[in-house]
Structure 1
Amino acid sequence: MNHDDKTGTVAEIVKETRIAVLTYVSLDGALVSTPMGMQDFQDPGTTWFLTQRSSDKVGALEADPRVNVSYSSKAGWVSLSGTAHVSDDRAKLEELWDPSASAFMSGGPEDPDNVLLRIDGNTAEYWESPGAIGVAFQMAKGLVTDSEPDLGDNDTVNL
């Protein structure tokens, strides 16, 4: 599979994901994972999330911007390693603001506490799923034949 095919597979999985999990290092050095609503996705190399500047997450990311974002959908699973950047881009915030943001964040896109997290991906590891029926078949086949089931493609791509 070539680079474009791999990034296409990553993009397909990410596009189908509604909630991603952002993992970062807290100020006391612990790994923290938090669910984040998908706001904008055009390319596996850049993902945007909405958050609040006053959150512990933003303080931790400004101290250590290394992150992992995991995505899971019916198409498979992606583990994206990258760097987080806090952005005050009001035009982009206005573009991405929707009713779900108002449910979780006070104020609106004009509130100075509401900011963006831009995740610049470096690498993505993915597992492409053959679908629920395919997984069930492969698991049953593995049990009956005592062989390892084929649960889909797995690879890593540099973004």
Structure 2
Amino acid sequence: MGYRPDMTDNEDQKKLVDLMSDMPIAMLTTYGVDGPRSLPMARQEVEPSAEMWFISARDTAHTRAIQHNPTVSLTFSARDSWVAVTGTATVVDDAAKLEELWNTFAEAWLPGGPEDPNATLIRVDVEHGEYWDTPGSKVASLISFAKTKLTGATFDADHGSVDL
């Protein structure tokens, strides 16, 4: 396994999107005047076009950081796979899109609903992404880990990188 240079950008992009479909929570890192800051955010959509949406409160440190410096990093993880992406974030006021994406999870943070004047959206246009995947069961991952300890080889993980 390991890094597969024979994969096309389209295959890597599809794999990246497929992995993220089971990873609804990201750690969003902003780079504002106070330096890097990370917080968990629930991803509302991930599109093959590399556009992601998040519902947020407007008056927060992370929305101010995005307005200062729109560069962001997002990391996602699951038991056997990890995704890291970088891109440009924008705070978006779009009532129709907010209504479309609204869910009960958002309501827990913004009880005023999508009409709450403090509710807004963050759109991230992904520019680069990487993934690491250890396909198979937990047993397969343990076998690969044991192999690394015994042979000194590296851990078998499917790795891909794509510029979007």
Is this a same-fold pair by TM over 0.5? yes
| 2:74 matches 1:60 | no
Q: What is the aligned counterpart of 2:22 among 13, 16, 21?
A: 16
CA distance in 2, matches of 1:96, 1:69: 19
Kindly tell me: are residues 75 and 44 of structure 1, through their superposed partners in 2, closer, same or farther at Cα, counting changes over 3 Å? farther
Aligned-pair Cα RMSD in Å: 1.4
CA distance in 1, matches of 2:90, 2:38: 17
Aligned residue identity for 2:119: N
Q: What is the aligned counterpart of 1:114 among 113, 119, 126?
A: 119
Residue 126 of structure 1 aligns to a residue whose secondary structure is strand
Aligned residue identity for 1:79: A
Residue 17 of structure 1 aligns to a residue whose secondary structure is coil
Task: Name segments (4+ residues, structure 1) moved above 4 Å.
Answer: none
TM-score of the superposition, structure 1-length normalised?
0.92
Deviation at 1:76, TM superposition (A): 1.5
Partner of 2:161: 156
CA distance in 2, matches of 1:63, 1:121: 18
Q: What is the aligned counterpart of 1:77 among 74, 82, 87?
A: 82
Residue 148 of structure 2 aligns to a residue whose secondary structure is helix
What does 1:137-148 align with in structure 2 at a 5 Å threshold? Answer: 137-144=143-150, 146-148=151-153
| 2:50 matches 1:45 | yes
What is the CA deviation profile of residues 113-138 of structure 1, one whole-angstrom value per residue up to 9, with x for unaligned ones? Answer: 10000000000011122242221001
Deviation at 1:93, TM superposition (A): 0.3
Deviation at 1:44, TM superposition (A): 5.9
Q: What is the aligned counterpart of 2:105 among 91, 97, 100?
A: 100
Deviation at 1:26, TM superposition (A): 2.8
Q: What is the aligned counterpart of 1:89 among 90, 94, 112?
A: 94
Deviation at 1:75, TM superposition (A): 5.4
CA distance in 2, matches of 1:66, 1:149: 32
| Structure 1 unaligned regions, length at least 5 | none
CA distance in 2, matches of 1:153, 1:114: 38
Residue 43 of structure 1 aligns to a residue whose secondary structure is coil
| Structure 2 unaligned regions, length at least 5 | 1-6
CA distance in 2, matches of 1:151, 1:48: 32
Q: What is the aligned counterpart of 1:125 among 125, 130, 143?
A: 130
CA distance in 2, matches of 1:72, 1:26: 24
